[in-house]
Every structure is written in C-alpha cells, then in structure tokens.
Amino acid sequence: MQISLSVNGTSHELTLDPRTTLLDALRQHLGLTGTKKGCDHGQCGACTVLLDGRRVSACLTLACMVQDQPVTTIEGLGTPEALSPLQQQFLDHDGFQCGYCTPGQICSATAMLKEIAAGWPSHASADLTGPIALTHAEIAERMSGNLCRCAAYANIVDAIRQAAGAQGDAA
C-alpha cells in the first residue's frame, strides 16, 4: 500500500506491505538504521522513536498508523559533528558500550525529560502533584523500558541528570 511518512522533517512516499512496522519502514525502507531492533515485541526499548514528541516503540507501531504524525529518530536529534546535549553527555559519561541500545535510550531520555517538565509523576515520585526532583531513582524508574545488556545504566543516569542540569543527590 501507499504510505506517506514524515520523518525528521522530511516527507517520504513509500509502497509498503501493510504489515510493515514503523521500525522496519525506518530501517529497511528509509535506510534510517539508527533506530534498532532488539526484540520486535516491545520488550527492550531499542526501537524507541518520538511520535509527535512522545516516545513510542516503533516495533509495536505499524507504519500505516502514523501517516499524519511527525516521527523523530535518533538521526533527527543530532549529528556526529553537532551532538544534542544528551548525546554529548552520553559520550562524556560513557553512557553506552556496544551502542546498540543507545539510540533508544537517548530518544527515550529526550522525551522523558519533557514528561518530567510537564509534571507527570512516576512510581518513584515523592509527590503526585508537586515538583519532581531529578533523582537517580526517578530517572531509573522512568528509563526502565530501555534495557542495556552492557549495563551502562549508572552512566546513563548520570548523563541524563547532567544534561538536565540536576544537582546534588546520589540516590
């Protein structure tokens, strides 16, 4: 079927099998392989992209479902020459090893910080309505959909807190 996708500000017209996921459309048809496939079942977070600014699992999203919504992938957040603040902090803090979960972590963190800024509480928040402190526990809770077998977790949380300008608190 004919599908039009808007990815990183560019529109694409594609002829796709209707069963094609957003993840496979990005990777196999648009050559945007920065978005990774770790499980194809919504269990690992490697495929996280931003749909209208909100994080979603691209493997659980059919390409034909998102024709009207702008998609942002890791390629749209920064380039090797011009890293986004989060990308720079991941690099500085060694927030990755093999790098396979990394695009998903960074896309997820980008949207997650906006969720905090918008006042959405989490299981780890001390208060459901008050301001949310960027503690280790708060960030770890919100990032738990993004698995990292290399286990760069401690560094990822540090990178996110630094990028978000969090101060103090180790726990």
Partner 1 sequence: MTRHLKVDAPIPDSPLDHMAQGVLGKPVSRLEGPLKVTGRATYAAEARPEGLLYGVLVQAAIPAGKVLSIGDAPGAMVVIHDPRLIRYAAQGMATEGPTAGPDEVEYMGQAIAVVVAEALEAAQAAAQALQVTYEAKDVPVDPEAVEPERPEDKQSATGDLDRAMQDASHTLDQIWHTPSHTAAAMEPHAATAEWSGDTLTVRAGYQMLATSREQLADAVGIKPDQVRLLAPYVGGGFGSKLGINADSVAAAIAAQQLGRPVQVVMTRQQVFDLAHRRSETRQRIRLACDTQGKLTGIGHEALVSNLPGVSFSEPVTQATPFTYQAAHRQIVHAIARVHRSCAGSVRAPGEAVGATVFECAMDELAETAGIDPVELRLRNIPDTEPCTGRPFSSHKLAEALREGAARFNWSDRRPTGQRREGDWYIGMGVASAVRVNSLIESRARVTLQADGRAIVETDMTDIGTGSYTILGQIAAETLGLAVDRVEVRLGDSDFPPASGSGGSFGAASSGTSVYLACAEIRSQIAALIGCDEADLTLQNGQVRTGNVSRPLDALLTGELTGDGHLEPGKTEDTVRQATWGSHWAEIAVNRWTGEVRVRRMLGVFACGRVLNEKTARSQCLGGMTFGLGMALTEAMAHDPRDGHIVTRDLAEYHIPCHADVPPLEVHFLTESDTYVGPLHAKGLGELGICGAGAAILNAIHNACGVRVRELPATPDKIIAGLQS
Span interacting with partner 1, options 50-58, 64-72, 113-121, 132-140, rule CB under 8 A: 132-140
Residue 8 tokens, joined: 């990183």
Does 56 bind ligand FES (CB under 6 A)? Our answer is no
| Angle between the N-to-C axes of helices 102-117 and 85-93, in degrees from 0 to 180, rounded to the nearest 10 | 120
Site string for partner 1, 51-90 (x = CB under 8 A): ----------------------xxx-xxxxx-x---x--x
- Based on its alpha-carbon atoms, the radius of gyration of the chain, rounded to whole angstroms, reads 16
| C-alpha dihedral (68, 73, 78, 81), degrees to nearest 10 | -120
* SS3 of residue 132 by DSSP: coil
Contact of 29 with 16, CB cutoff 8 Å: yes
Q: How far is the CB of 47 from ligand FES (least distance, A)?
A: 3
134-163: contacts with ligand FES (CB under 6 A)? 148-150, 152
How far apart, in Å, are the Cα atoms of 86 and each of 11, 79, 112, 162?
A: 26, 12, 12, 9
Q: Count of residues binding partner 1 (CB under 8 A)?
A: 66
Residues that bind ligand FES (CB under 6 A): 37-40, 42-47, 57, 59, 96-102, 148-150, 152
Residues that bind partner 1 (CB under 8 A): 17, 19-20, 24, 27-28, 31-41, 43-44, 46, 73-75, 77-81, 83, 87, 90-92, 94, 96-103, 106, 124, 136-137, 139-141, 143-157, 170-171
